[in-house]
């Protein structure tokens, strides 16, 4: 090959860096492409026909509106060419990350209360909250009145989200208990709304530290923090009660410990990994960890750290994972054990069909919409520019493995903000995107100005818009049943067919301490018999498609007992007589 050809090859390889306006153009085109997904949805190959109703609604309505705003932001950012103020913001974030992190934690805690209403929305969230309250009071299983289990837990949810025995009344969450253990101290202190914001603060600190270790540049680390807080997916999961924020933080800590391993750090990484395995199910961490384990096994210099890593995994995984699995499956009768088998491997994973491929395509779109505008583009640039760095490669492969692993999951995720199935590896994205923010060439400066403008406008406009969407949806969902009458207590009998995912509102405190009870309806006759058995003066005050609302009078019907000195509903041990 001639010198001229070699020079031509170098020019070809760096062609993108020699054209400052190329990446803004690519970003605008990609934004339009993802916006076009919503235009074409259900008009051809792209179909939502097999999606769960909640997934289809959040995608086609809420995410579609956010995609329009994201595209407009991207187009506006393409005209911003002054990099100096953006570099200044990133540099301040990089020099004083703890101030930014503290402010974010305080803001997220407030948003948990005022936007998320300090309560789980979906049953995935409620299961962990239920179990955390049990742990917070020093117990492993809740003790429900056995004959009321079918009222307290919707039948279709027993054996899927919770395991509750109608024989003994014992009840636990169906998932592995790691996140409930993390949440339990906050429940004990009456601060459950602080758990995920603090975990998000830890994730921001790790994002800063990992980026700083990779690039040795504080401004670049500041970009990583900016990209994270400017992304709706990160903010939304930080204020929710999903375990995905814990997955993200644990996986980042795991990666940070293994970036410069020693025997001690490898053992600690194993401990962190074991907690990540049992947060709610082992798949999210297993997919993230595969590249790190494979790299350590292949690299002779790092192979000596593999044994301490494995030893770190064993104790918590055996006790908290498999021990819990055996204990949980011992609760209930043969019917519940049969129900639990439905969530086995064969029913969750299979070769992708058209419906699953459409769900994964929708997940990719949700990833784009719920990140800072064009953030996935910047992450791709950063990965390819720094792919010779071992840690960058491993972070990229963790993200790829997570995406690929969920290709074979039959579910579309249902509820969730952003692409929830990817969120365990989402921490890689702002780090990789920040890796593209280095260099002083004209193209690098132009890329930083474009990326920074996207992030700042996303933080100012897109994230508040998505938070408003979340708040509106949660308030609409809760408004499907009437507000309780005060003073006193109300008992609701909910018919899941009478509303949109209204069965998810059947969420009762495991100790029955809440002022009101929300029960599964077994028909008006049996519901009325139950109320009059325990609260004869009660009156029916509302009825409709949702079910019925009964008011128990102005005097609080909850009692204190020797077993529980707090106010709670007390039921006699005798079974309820069934009406014919």
Per-residue pLDDT of the chain (580 residues; tens, 9 = 90+): 444 444 444 444 454 565 767 999 999 999 999 999 999 999 989 999 999 999 999 999 999 999 999 999 999 999 999 999 999 999 999 999 999 999 999 999 999 999 999 999 999 999 999 999 999 999 999 999 999 999 999 988 998 999 999 999 999 999 999 999 999 999 999 999 999 999 999 999 999 999 999 999 999 999 999 999 999 999 999 999 999 999 999 999 999 999 999 999 999 999 999 999 999 999 999 999 999 999 999 999 999 999 999 999 999 999 888 899 889 888 855 344 444 444 455 678 899 999 999 999 999 999 999 999 999 999 999 999 999 999 999 999 999 999 999 999 999 999 999 999 999 999 999 999 999 999 888 999 999 999 999 999 999 999 999 999 999 999 999 999 999 999 999 999 999 888 999 999 999 999 999 999 999 999 999 999 999 999 999 999 999 999 999 999 999 999 999 888 999 999 987 554 444 4
E strand or H helix at 548: strand 547-551
- Model-level pTM? 0.93
Q: How far apart are CA 207 and CA 378, in angstroms?
A: 16
Query: Which three-class secondary structure state does DSSP give residue 483?
Result: coil
Three-state secondary structure of 200-255: HHHHHHHHHHHHHHHHCCHHHHHHHHHHHHCCHHHHHHHHCCCCHHHHHHHHHHHH
Q: How far apart are CA 471 and CA 334, in angstroms?
A: 41
Distance of CA 416 to the CA centre of its chain: 7
> Which positions ≥6 away from 331 have C-beta within 8 Å?
141, 163, 164, 165, 168, 170, 171, 172
Q: Please, what is the angle between helix 64-77 and helix 442-457, to 10°?
A: 140
Query: Which three-class secondary structure state does DSSP give residue 63?
Result: helix
Q: How far apart are CA 26 and CA 43, in angstroms?
A: 26
Q: How many CB atoms lie within 10 A of CB 333?
A: 11
- Give the burial string for 448-480 (b: 16+ CB within 10 Å, else e): bbbbbbbbbbbbebbbebbbebbeebbeebeeb
Q: How far apart are CA 136 and CA 142, in angstroms?
A: 11
Query: Which three-class secondary structure state does DSSP give residue 500?
Result: coil
Q: How far apart are CA 169 and CA 13, in angstroms?
A: 67
Quote the tokens at residue 121: 């929305």
Query: Which three-class secondary structure state does DSSP give residue 349?
Result: strand
- Counts of helices then strands in the chain (DSSP H, E): 26, 7
Q: Which residues, in sequence order, are bridge partners of residue 490?
A: 551
Q: How far apart are CA 435 and CA 425, in angstroms?
A: 17
> Which positions ≥6 away from 548 have C-beta within 8 Å?
492, 493, 521, 524, 527, 540, 542
């Amino acid at each position: 090959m001639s010198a001229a050809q070699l020079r031509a090859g170098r020019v070809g390889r760096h062609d993108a860096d020699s054209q400052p306006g190329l990446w803004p153009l690519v970003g605008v085109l990609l934004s339009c492409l993802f916006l076009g997904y919503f235009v074409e949805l259900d008009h051809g190959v792209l179909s939502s026909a097999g999606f769960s109703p909640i997934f289809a609604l959040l995608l086609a309505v809420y995410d579609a509106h956010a995609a329009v705003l994201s595209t407009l932001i991207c187009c506006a950012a393409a005209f911003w060419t002054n990099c100096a103020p953006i570099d200044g913001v990133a540099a301040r974030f990089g020099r004083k990350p703890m101030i930014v992190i503290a402010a974010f934690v305080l803001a997220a805690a407030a948003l948990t209360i005022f936007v998320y209403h300090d309560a789980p929305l979906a049953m995935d969230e409620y299961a962990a909250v239920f179990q955390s309250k049990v742990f917070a009071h020093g117990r492993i299983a809740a003790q429900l009145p056995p004959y009321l289990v079918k009222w307290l837990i919707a039948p279709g949810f027993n054996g899927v989200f919770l395991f509750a025995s109608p024989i003994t009344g014992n009840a636990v969450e169906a998932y592995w208990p790691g996140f409930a253990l993390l949440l339990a101290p906050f429940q004990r202190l009456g601060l459950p709304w602080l758990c995920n914001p603090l975990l998000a603060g830890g994730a921001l600190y790790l994002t800063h530290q990992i980026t700083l270790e990779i690039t040795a540049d504080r401004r670049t680390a500041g970009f990583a923090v900016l990209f994270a807080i400017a992304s709706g997916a990160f903010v939304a999961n930080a204020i929710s009660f999903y375990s995905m924020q814990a997955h993200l933080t644990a996986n980042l800590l795991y990666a940070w410990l293994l970036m410069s391993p020693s025997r001690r750090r490898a053992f600690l990484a194993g401990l962190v990994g074991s907690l990540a395995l049992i947060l709610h199910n082992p798949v999210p961490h297993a997919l993230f960890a595969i590249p790190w384990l494979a790299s350590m096994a292949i690299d002779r210099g790092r192979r000596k750290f593999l044994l301490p890593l494995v030893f770190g995994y064993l104790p918590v995984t055996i006790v908290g994972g498999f021990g819990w699995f055996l204990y949980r499956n011992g609760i209930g009768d043969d019917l519940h054990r049969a129900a639990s088998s439905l969530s086995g491997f064969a029913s969750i994973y299979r070769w992708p069909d058209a419906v699953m491929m459409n769900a994964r395509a929708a997940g990719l779109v949700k990833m784009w919409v719920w990140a800072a505008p064009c953030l996935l583009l910047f992450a791709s640039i950063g990965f390819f520019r720094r792919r010779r760095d071992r840690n960058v490669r491993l972070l990229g492969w963790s993200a790829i493995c997570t995406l690929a692993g969920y290709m074979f999951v039959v579910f579309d995720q249902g509820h969730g903000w952003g692409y929830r199935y990817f969120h365990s590896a989402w921490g890689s994205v702002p780090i990789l995107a920040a890796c593209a923010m280095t260099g002083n060439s004209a193209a690098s400066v132009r890329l930083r100005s474009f990326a920074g403008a996207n992030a700042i406008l996303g933080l100012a406009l897109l994230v508040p818009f998505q938070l408003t969407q979340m708040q509106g949806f949660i308030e609409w969902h809760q408004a499907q049943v009437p507000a309780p009458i005060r003073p006193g207590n109300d008992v609701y009998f909910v018919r899941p067919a009478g509303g949109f995912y209204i069965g998810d509102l059947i969420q009762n405190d495991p100790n029955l301490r809440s002022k009101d009870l929300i029960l599964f309806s077994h028909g008006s006759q049996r519901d009325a018999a139950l109320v009059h058995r325990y609260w004869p003066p009660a009156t029916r005050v509302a009825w409709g498609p949702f079910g019925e609302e009964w008011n128990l009078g102005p005097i609080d019907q909850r009692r204190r007992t020797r077993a529980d000195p707090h106010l709670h509903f007390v039921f006699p041990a005798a079974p309820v007589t069934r009406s014919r």
